[in-house]
Amino acid sequence: MTDGPLPFAPGTGESFGARGSFCGVPVRRAADARPGEVVILGAPFDWGASHRPGARFGPKAIREADYLEPDGSRPHLTARVDPLRDLPVVDAGDIAIVPGSVERSLAAIEEAVATVAAAGAVPLVLGGDHSITYANATGVARHLGFGEVALVHFDAHADTGEDQWGQLYGHGTPMRRLIESGAVPGHRFVQIGLRGYWPPPATVAWMRAQRMRSYFMADIVDRGLDAVVDEAVGYALEGGARGVFVSVDIDVVDPGMAPGTGTPEPGGLTSRQLLDTVRRLGRDLEVVGADVVEVAPHYDQPMDITAALANRVVLELTTGMTLRRQPASTASTSSP
């Protein structure tokens, strides 16, 4: 562990790289990750964006969207745990992406995540556009085994496109690439919050053929979020997966509450629903990796409410993970 500023890797770019750790947690290089830790990594990458760019600034914004002292401590009022200290959580800084090169950047992200996972730690990646989930989940699968990881995916969009204007890698294609590679098979995918007008019927048919379980906002309205999450948790646990990767695209939340994103889609979850749900997943599932993506802070001004929400997604997910690791007798009954 080192004191002082984050150890920047060459190539991240000072103009959009983060300069402080998440909430002031200790800094540790990815190569020095320890078993049981949650290791935060930044992936300042948005060369896969199809509409509005800017998510390369997401990791910096998420780290800085906090009004408390950067003391590495955030005791949860109702859960009565301090996830940053109890897990513990450390920050390995931003991954050295290669501006303009999608393939080389994704390879660098995958390698960093795989390094953390191989140490027995849990990588938690701050994005960046959703292209990075292909690299993130693949990096975890390299450690636990291809086909052994389930993925719970919060998003307005399915991200299962066959290609993106002829390119295999973009923020509309990562889930298809994961299925095609075998890293995460279709029957281990759960998607929550889909809505809008994409993908087209042929892609939806492909998703069904892969046995993906997709819950649209219409399902949540009709059945209630709790019932959908009950079913999603059960499906994620089916078949003996060794762990679950949680991917949160911030556009799953209604843009009235999360405007700072590249592809806003009206009619989504509330911020409260998302925070409660990720905390529950951290508690009920064996989370082996996670990412929070598509925060584009330039569209978030002047309130920074999207970055603040993403910051709290990290805190709520790690709070749930802390509760899971504690003996039942010490967990607070106040936490949902």
DSSP per residue, 225-258? HHHHHHHHHHHHHGGG-SEEEEEEEGGGB-TTT-
Task: Identify the pLDDT of residue 236.
Answer: 82
Its pTM stands at 0.92
What local confidence, expressed as pLDDT, does residue 51 receive?
Answer: 83
Name the phi and psi angles at 2, rounded to 5.
-125, 155
Distance CA 313, CA 329 (A): 25
Q: Residue 332 has what pLDDT?
A: 45
d(CA 229, CA 191): 10
Q: What is the pLDDT of residue 168?
A: 79
Q: What are residue 169's phi and psi, to 5 degrees?
A: -115, 125
Q: Say which CATH class 22-330 falls into.
A: alpha beta
Is residue 289 within 8 A of residue 113, CB to CB? The reply is yes
Question: Mean pLDDT, consecutive 10-residue segments, the chain of 336 residues?
Answer: 43 60 95 97 92 93 94 96 97 92 94 98 97 97 97 96 80 94 96 94 95 96 96 86 97 97 96 98 97 96 93 98 80 43
**Which is nearest to 251 in space by CA: 306, 207, 291?**
306
> Can you give the residue ranges of every domain in the chain?
22-330
Q: What is the dihedral of CA 73, 79, 80, 85, to 10 degrees?
A: -30
Give dist(CA 263, CA 266) in Å, integer.
10
DSSP sequence for 91-141: EEEE----TT-HHHHHHHHHHHHHHHHHTT-EEEEEESSTTHHHHHHHHHH
- Altogether, the residues listed in the chain come to a count of 336
Determine the distance from the C-alpha atom of residue 104 to the mean position of all C-alpha atoms in its chain, rounded to a whole number: 21
The tens digit of pLDDT for each residue in 178-211 reads 999 999 999 999 999 999 998 999 999 999 999 9
**Cβ density class 279-316: b for 16+ within 10 Å, e for less:** bbbbbbbebbbbbbbbbbbebbeeebbbbbbbbbbbbb
* Cα pseudo-dihedral 318, 20, 292, 285, rounded to 10: -20
d(CA 250, CA 186): 22
